[in-house]
Structure 1
């Protein structure tokens, strides 16, 4: 049995896909999976599902949702049902390889490690595998509880980090020509992410497009000033100075990760 969280929240039992129909049951499943093999207290689950102002009979309602979830998930013929009652709450027993979030985390960690050791092709391969997972937008719609919303925030940041690392690896491999269109697209999606401006400026400079690189800095500076009232970060300013003065030392890559 496999548990999938990064696309539609679902349980894959052979060829069958089982999905919780009720939103609160989905929140319960997501919270338990994100704390897989750990006890999540009743108080934490109540907070996750209803926030700071739960209904009077929230604990009784939670027991009903747990019962519904147990009916949805088929028990294992050997180990029994994965959802276990254990004081002061519940846990779900999941093998590490049966949860897509674990695979995503492992690929991200492998990409970081390979990048640190200078295996840029290997890092790109691992990061591309991680990027192939769905974005996890379903989790962001499930609610504002600290477990689920905290993970949704982490996932957004992790995807940005992956994009940045993969781009940095390709710059290390002198793939600057092919990076320019993709970086323009990334900046349309993440217009305040300064690392992408730095990478685009460097790629343009290496493509003998010095004027475009300087224009990119001017656009970034104007946008940052108008949107958040800040000057570009130090690394962006330093790269701008290096491009202005054709200073190769100021254009050295500092691998992220």
Structure 2
């Protein structure tokens, strides 16, 4: 996005990789060897250095902003550095929100945690770096981002549960499980929400769904934590029936 509101698209795959690598390492020098490895891996072409220079020149032209001299990409031995203003990159804002949300959750400030983690999750707009090559910089960031996205969801739901927002979190968890059907932590949280809101039969059905999915897809049994949660619900259900009979 340029200063006049227009959009400058980077469509060439190699330039996309270069831009992604520079954005991930924004403010730090990325060497030519690292950038070459991102694009070509361990088998660069004979004229890789010259080709890298051409791609970088084209990328600089695209990123040059109207009314501002030069490009945010600077040459700095032994490679290049992309300079951004603080808060200009969603990735950095997400990292800060996740860090502060994690701290708030650990401190028991769950209202604040839900606010911060909800803001962090709102920055996600699909798979991170989707379609980019899986070099050490870009691929590593994509894997970290997906893990961080899952962590932010788990923390947000845990704080929502602590606040007693069982119905709201049930809807959030159903959407999460549609995207991550093998993530057991989301099943545990869903079963807990259902159980605490008095929907024990639904909670047990959710457990059986989790067990069947895990068995079918992974050939494994559910974790001890998930099985223990099922047993806790069954014991509570049995105790409730005993009280009714005694009454």
Give your verdict on TM over 0.5: yes
1:134 CA displacement = 3.4
Provide structure 2 residue ranges, at least 5 long, that are not aligned to the other structure.
238-247
Provide structure 1 residue ranges, at least 5 long, that are not aligned to the other structure.
1-10, 248-257
Distance 1:44 1:240, change over 3 A: same
Give the greater-gyration-radius structure (CA): 2
Deviations 1:166-206 (A, max 9, x none): 11111101111233233223222211010111011111111
Asked if the contact 1:140/1:149 (under 8 Å) is kept, the reply is: no
How many residues were matched structurally?
Answer: 237
Deviations 1:203-245 (A, max 9, x none): 1111222122122222212221221122212221221222122
Deviations 1:36-69 (A, max 9, x none): 1211111110111122222221111000011111
Compare 160-169 and 71-80 and name the one that shifted more: 71-80
Partner residue of 1:33 out of 15, 23, 45: 23
Match of 2:108 in 1: 118
* TM-score, length-scaled by structure 2: 0.88
Match of 2:165 in 1: 175
Partner residue of 2:92 out of 99, 102, 109: 102
Q: Does 1:20 align with 2:10?
A: yes
Asked if the contact 2:4/2:66 (under 8 Å) is kept, the reply is: no
Distance in 1 (alpha carbons) for counterparts of 2:164 and 2:88: 38
Q: Does 1:238 align with 2:228?
A: yes
Partner residue of 1:228 out of 218, 235, 238: 218
> RMSD across aligned C-alpha pairs, in angstroms?
2.1
